[in-house]
Amino acid sequence: MAKSNYTEDNIKSLDWKEHIRTRPGMYIGKLGDGSAFDDGIYVLLKEVMDNCIDEFMMGEGSRIDINVKEGVVSIRDFGRGIPLGKVVEVVSKMNTGGKYDSEAFKKSIGLNGVGTKAVNALSINFKVTAYRDGQSKTAEFSKGELIKEHKLTASSEKNGTLVEFRPDDTIFKKYHFVHEYIDKMVWNYAFLNTGLKLYLNGAEYKSDNGLKDLLEKNITGEIIYPIIHLRAEDIELAMTHSNEHYSEEYYSYVNGQYTTQGGTHQAAFREALVKTIREFYKKEFDPADIRKSIVAAISVKVQEPIFESQTKTKLGSSEIAPGGQSVRSFITDFMKQHLDNYLHKNPETAKLIEAKIVANERERKELSGIQKLARERAKKSSLHNKKLRDCRVHLDDTKDVRRLDTSIFICEGDSASGSITKTRDVNTQAVFSLKGKPLNCFGLGKKVVYENEEFNLLQAALNIEDNLEELRYNNVIIATDADVDGMHIRLLLLTFFLQFFPDLVKNNHVKILQTPLFRVRNKKETAYCYSDEERKAAVAKLGPKPEITRFKGLGEISPDEFKHFIGKDIRLEPVLIDQKSSITELLNYYMGKNTQGRQDFIIENLRIEKDTEKELIG
C-alpha cells in the first residue's frame, strides 16, 4: 500500500459555518431532496420550530405562523423575542443561546445551541427579526455569512421572533417540500401542546385533547376499545388496540420532540405495560400477546435529555425525570398507578383487553408451527437461491439503519434485477427479485405470509416478522415496469404491506422508484424524461426529429443507463396515505370487487396512455 504524507499541512481548522457546510450530516442527518420525511430540509424547519415551542412551553406566546411557499420557509412566534443585542450571535455564534440557562428554558427541546446556526449555515438566504418591547432588530445572512445587520427600529409588532430561510440548493439538490410531511409535523406540535394554535399557510392546527387526538387522527379502521388517555405532571399516555393491523405502533416524544426511533422512554413503556397487565389480571401473559396490535402514544418531559444525535430521533440514556427518578422508573410508577386504576374503574374495557390478549395468544399458537417451518424454509432458501442480492452494510448493535440509509429494490424478473444489481452501490443497496406476480392477499389471514414462499422470503429479507425495530433497510423501494403489469405488481405489493405491515408504509419506508419513461437524444445530447411534459420540452430543446425511445420495462434500460437513475440523483416517490382514509377501505377499493370508481380510474388512465402512444407513433 502506498504511503501518504501526514504533516502540519494536513491539519485544518474550520470556522463554525464551514464545519456545518462541510459535514452537514452531523447536524441535520441525511440531505436528500425532500422526498423522504427525514430529509434534512425538514430538520431545518424543525430546528426553528423547536425554538418557538420552547417559548410556548415557558408560557410565552400561544400562536405560531408557518408559511412554506416555492422553497422558502417563514416562521413567526409570539414569544419573548431574542434579546435585541444578541440577535446576530444567537444565530451565528456556536455555543451561544438561552438553553444553557436552566432558569430561562426548563425541559426544552434544543440544548446544544446549534439548531438555528445549522439552518443559517445551510441556507442561501437567512433572515432573522426579533420584536421586543416596541423595537425590532433584523440581520440577514447567506450561507452563514452576515450580509447586513439592520439598526434598531421602532415597531408596533407584538413580541416574538420571525425567521425566514431558503435552503441552499447546492447542498439540497433539486429539493422540494412535501406538504404531507410538514402537515404531520405541525399536527404533532399541536397534539403535544394543547392550547397552542399553529397556522400552516393559513390553515389552523390545534388540539384540545392532546395524545388522544393524535391517535384518533392516525388510527384507521376499527379499534377494540375506547382510547385510554392518562395524564400526570410531565407525562401523558394514550393507547388502544387496533383491529386493522398485526404489529405494534408507537408515537413517542421527549420534551415535544418526536423520537421516531424510540429510546429509553419507549422501551420503558413497553416493559411497564407488560408488567401492569400481568399484575392486574394475575396472569403471566406472553409480552408479544399483550402488545400485538397496540397503538400507543407517550410523551414525557425531562430535564437535560441526552439524544443519540443532533437530529434528536432517539432518546439515549436514563435521564432524570421529576423527583430525581430515572425515566424508566418514572414511567413504570406512572403505569402501575394510573393504568391499573383505569382498568379497575372501567371493567368493560378491561374485559375487551383480556379478550384481545387471549385471541392473540390463540393465533400465535396456531401460527407457531407454520412460522417455524417458514423460518427454516427462508433460511435454507437464502443459502441456495439468488432472490436476494444483499448489501454489505447490515443493521447490528453498533449501527443505525436510518443513519446508514440502506435500500432494497424489489424488482419483477431477472432482467430488471440484473440491471440494478450491476450498477447499484453494493455497500448500501440490496436487490430482491420477484418470481412472477405476487399473490393477491387482500382479505387473507396472516398465515398466508408464512405459507407463500415469495412473502415469506420478503418478510425474512426485511426482518419485519415481529416489529420494525430491526428493519434491515431504511428504504423499501418498489421497482416495477411502467406498464399495466408493472402497476398491478405494485398494487399487489402495496396490498401485502398495508394489510400485514402498515407501519412500514405509515413510517414512510416504502417508496416507488421513478425511472424515465422516455429517452430523447440526438448525436450530441441525451435527455431522460420522467413525464410527457418533460418529453415535449426535451424535443423542443434538442431540435427537429430527435430519436425518441419509450421505456416500457426496466429490462429495456441498460446497466450503463441505470446508474443514472439509482445513484445520487435517484427519484423516489413516497407512498403516502391520507390520514382520513381507512386502510381497509383503500384495499377494498383497489383490490376488492370491481367498483364503478375503480373502473373509471382504470379507463381514464388507459386513455391517457393510449393518447401518448398515438402521439409518438403519429
Question: Which residue would you say has higher pLDDT here, 83 or 257?
Answer: 83
Name the most confidently modeled range: 325-329, 400-404, 517-521. 517-521
- Give the pLDDT of residue 436: 78
Integer Cα distance of 612 and 608 in angstroms: 6
Do 409 and 420 meet the contact criterion of CB atoms below 8 Å apart? yes
pLDDT at 389 over 90: no
Locate all alpha helices (DSSP H) within 219-346, ordered by sequence. Answer: 264-281, 287-291, 327-334, 340-345
Q: For the chain, what percent of residues have pLDDT higher than 70?
A: 81
- For the cut 80, the answer to whether the pLDDT of residue 251 exceeds it is yes
CATH of 211-363, one of 3.40.50.12160, 3.30.230.10, 3.40.50.720, 3.40.50.12280: 3.30.230.10
180-229 tens-digit pLDDT: 899 999 999 999 999 999 999 999 999 999 999 999 988 877 899 999 99
Q: How confident is the model at residue 392 (pLDDT cuts 50, 70, 90)?
A: confident
| Mean pLDDT of the 45-70 span | 92
**pLDDT of residue 586 exceeding 90:** no
The pLDDT of residue 111: 42
Residue 5 confidence (pLDDT): 64
Lowest mean pLDDT among 26-40, 128-142, 164-178, 182-196: 26-40
One fold for both 211-363 and 385-515+551-581? Answer: no
Q: What is the mean pLDDT of residues 577-587?
A: 62
Residue range 582-608: mean pLDDT, rounded: 60
pLDDT value for 463? 86
Q: Average pLDDT of 449-459?
A: 86
pLDDT at 462 over 80: yes
Taking a C-beta distance cutoff of 8 angstroms, is the pair 99, 105 a contact?
Answer: yes
Q: What is the sign, positive or negative, of the torsion defined by CA atoms of 474, 469, 488, 371?
A: positive
| pLDDT tens figures, 276-290 | 999 999 999 999 999
96 pLDDT more than 80: no
Task: Identify the pLDDT of residue 457.
Answer: 87
Task: Please give the single-letter amino acid code of residue 514.
Answer: Q
**CA dist., res. 440 & res. 444, Å (int):** 9
pLDDT of residue 158: 95
| pLDDT value for 283 | 95
User: Going by C-beta distance under 8 Å and a sequence separation of 6 or more, which residues neighbour residue 324?
Assistant: none
Is residue 177 pLDDT above 80, yes or no? yes
- If DSSP states are collapsed to H, E and C, what string results for 516-531? CCEEEECCCCEEEECC
Global pTM reads: 0.76
Adjacency order of strands within the sheet including 429-434: 388-389, 429-434, 407-412, 475-479, 510-514, 571-574
Would you say residue 138 has pLDDT above 70?
yes
Does the domain made of 16-205 have the CATH classification 3.30.565.10? yes
Angle at 120 between CA 117 and CA 125, to 5 degrees: 170
The mean pLDDT value for 369-382 works out to 71
Residue 13 confidence class, pLDDT cut points 50, 70, 90 = low
pLDDT reported for residue 438: 87
Residue 395, pLDDT score: 45
Q: Is the Cβ–Cβ distance between 534 and 584 less than 8 Å? A: no
Cell of 2: 502506498
**pLDDT value for 520:** 92
Whether 155 shows a pLDDT value over 70: the answer reads yes
Instruction: Please give the Cα distance from 410 to 422 (Å, whole number).
Output: 15
> How does the average pLDDT of the chain come out, rounded?
82
Higher pLDDT, 532 or 14: 532
Phi, psi dihedrals of residue 326, rounded to the nearest 5°: -75, 160
pLDDT of 151: 93
Tell me the CB-side half-sphere exposure of residue 473, using CA atoms within 13 A: 25
Domain ranges of the chain: 16-205, 211-363, 385-515+551-581
Domain 385-515+551-581 part of CATH 3.40.50.670 = yes
Give the pLDDT band (50/70/90) at residue 445: confident
- pLDDT classification of 401: cutoffs 50, 70, 90: very low
DSSP 8-class letter at 581: S
pLDDT of residue 42: 93
User: Burial of 499 by CB count in 10 Å (0-12 exposed, 13-18 middle, 19+ buried)?
Assistant: buried
Rounded Cα–Cα distance for residues 618 and 549 (Å):
14
